[in-house]
Structure 1
């Protein structure tokens, strides 16, 4: 059993902690409230969302020494393809219209329907293909190192050439 002196000290400590917490909470509310009250709405601006998508799985990535950003809309006709390539930086891609099939040089095949987004990085060559009967529209954001091109061309893997021959 705690002594009366210990219980008083504990109550005093708890009271002090509670007071500090309430003071911190009040200060936070006051600061945030002031910030909100001082905010001003924009005027004479237009914002247009040209594409919006969601990653199939949450994504994390790092970009080193990036100093260049390029926005691009890519349209691929039925039966068309991007060709085998890699990107020197990071590319965030959103499928605005249609479904794109992404083949990797290791033989992997991924399907990205309208409204989906994905990231392209690394040295594994990829080829985006429109296997549908309608045009695909893609919105890409390239985040690039200084002086880098948007992409580097790569030869098709042997299995791809064999597939195309059959």
Structure 2
């Protein structure tokens, strides 16, 4: 792993989804490697390198805690539950996501090269990093 200043890693997203609702849309073409996982007080700090294959998606989900990501490679398309884009992120850019069930979203790789992200999760200890949700009615997964 290329070492970045702590401020950049702390300013890092995500996107893997864990089991949630019965009608959830699981991610596809997603792989993740945990680089760091440590609980401090009542907060779990997890740093992952996440790869989205071309055509892959995180599936619809939300995060119980704060998520910040850094795009290392590829282009991440990010949509919210209104089926509208809330950002397109290129290499070198940082994305920060809101937490809670009021911010259901999906990350997709619409390109031809893998998207590689470094994602820092700051979640309440004992909570999942992400909770799968059903498609809110968008024409895409």
TM-score category (smaller protein)? 0.5 to 0.7
The answer to whether 1:113 aligns with 2:90 is yes
Structure 2 distance, partners of 1:66, 1:89, is: 12
Supply the distance in 2 between the matched residues of 1:164 and 1:75 (Cα, whole angstroms).
20
- Asked which structure has the greater CA Rg, the reply is 1
1:49 is aligned to 4
Q: Greater relative contact order: 1 or 2 (C-alpha under 8 angstroms, separation 6 or more)?
A: 2
Residue 3 (structure 1) aligns with: none
3-state DSSP of counterpart to 2:56: coil
Which SS does the other structure have where 2:54 is aligned? Answer: coil
Residues 66-111 of structure 1: CA deviation (Å, up to 9, x unaligned): 5210000000000000000000000111101011000100222021
Q: 4+ residue stretches of structure 1 with deviation over 6 A?
A: none
Show the counterpart of 1:143.
122
TM-score in terms of structure 2 length = 0.68
What residue is the counterpart of 2:132 in the other structure?
153
Q: How far off is 1:164 after superposition?
A: 3.5
Please list every run of 5 or more consecutive structure 1 residues that lacks an aligned counterpart in the other structure. 1-46, 56-64
Q: CA–CA distance in 2 between the matches of 1:164 and 1:67?
A: 34
Report the alpha carbon displacement of residue 120 of structure 1 after superposing the two structures with TM.
1.1
More helix by share: 1
RMSD: 2.5
Higher strand share: 2
Shift of 1:49: 2.3
Distance change >3 Å, CA 107–CA 66, structure 1 → 2: farther
